[in-house]
Amino acid sequence: MKTFTLATSADTAPYDYLSRLSLDRWAWEYVRRNDDFRDDAASRTTADVSEKMAPCDRIRLLRSLVPQKLAERWGLVFMPDPALNGLEADAVWSHFVFPDQVEVNCTPRRPGQGCNIYDSTVPYYSITHVTDSAAREYILVRGKGCVVQVRCTGMSLLSIEPVRMKIQTPDLIGLERKLKVQKEALRIFGKGPDTSAARWTKTTQILRNGVIALDCLKDGMSQREIASLLYGPATVADDWVVDGSALRAALRYVIRKAEGLRDGGYLVELLG
Q: State the Cα–Cα distance between residues 152 and 138, nearest whole angstrom.
A: 5
Residue 196: what are its φ and ψ, rounded to 5°?
Answer: -70, 155
Contact in structure between 256 and 210 (CB atoms under 8 Å): no
- 52 C-beta neighbours (distance < 10 Å), count: 10
- CA distances to 23, 129, 141 from 29, in Å: 10, 21, 18
Burial class (CB in 10 A: 0-12, 13-18, 19+), 122: middle
Instruction: Specify the pairing of strand 126-131 against strand 102-108.
Output: unpaired
Task: Provide the residue-wise pLDDT of the chain in tens; the chain has 272 residues.
Answer: 789 999 899 999 999 999 999 999 999 999 999 999 999 999 999 899 999 999 878 899 999 999 999 999 999 999 999 999 999 999 999 999 999 899 999 999 999 899 998 888 888 899 999 999 999 999 999 988 889 999 999 999 998 889 999 988 766 666 677 777 777 777 766 554 465 789 999 999 999 999 999 999 999 999 999 999 999 999 998 888 777 789 999 999 999 999 999 999 999 999 98
